[in-house]
Amino acid sequence: MGGRGSSSGMSDKPYGTEYETLYQSGNIKFVRYKNGAATTPAETMTNGRVYVTVNARDKIKSITYYDKHNKHFKQIDIGHEHKVNGEKKDPHTHKGYIHDEKGTYDVSPKERKMIDRVKKAWYYHSNRE
């Protein structure tokens, strides 16, 4: 992952240099952006990959999903509120390649299961030392 996770050639950073892998559990890869605020990968080179972006304080910030073209299409944000139909929600889901281009939604039951799976995996990884 590098150049925001992309391999389009539009980035000046070599692929694989912007993120560091912290842990992997099946198709879920826990990553941290190396240069500042926790930014999610825009693209992936691995079909079916789900990225979990972890901030500098080792807190889960988001879970990012990719479409059949390996482009970002959905992101579940965790740890900060966002208005959904006038009501503040945490966690919440943004849909679209660009963060919120197709709206913000409450999490679905399937997304809630993924959040629980991710939190459990991160907890066991973080507490095994």
Q: Is residue 8 part of a domain?
A: no
Confidence of residue 129 (pLDDT cuts 50, 70, 90): low
In a domain, residue 103? The reply is yes
pTM as predicted:
0.85
Q: What is the mean pLDDT of residues 89-108?
A: 89
Per-residue pLDDT reduced to its tens digit, 37-86: 888 998 999 998 999 999 999 999 999 999 999 999 999 999 989 889 89
For residue 35, give its domain range. Answer: 19-126
Is 111 part of any domain? yes
Residue 98: exposure state from Cβ atoms within 10 A (0-12, 13-18, ≥19): exposed
Beta-carbon contacts of 97 under 8 Å, excluding residues fewer than 6 positions away, are 42, 71, 72, 73
* Angle at 50 (CA atoms; ends 46, 51), nearest 5 degrees: 100
Does 13 fall in a domain? Answer: no
pLDDT of 97 reads 85
Residue at 71 is within a domain: yes
> Is the peptide bond between 41 and the residue preceding it cis, with omega within 30 degrees of 0?
no
Cβ–Cβ < 8 Å for 30, 21: yes
Number of domains in the chain: 1
Two tokens, residue 48: 């079916």
Asked whether residue 100 is domain-assigned, the answer is yes
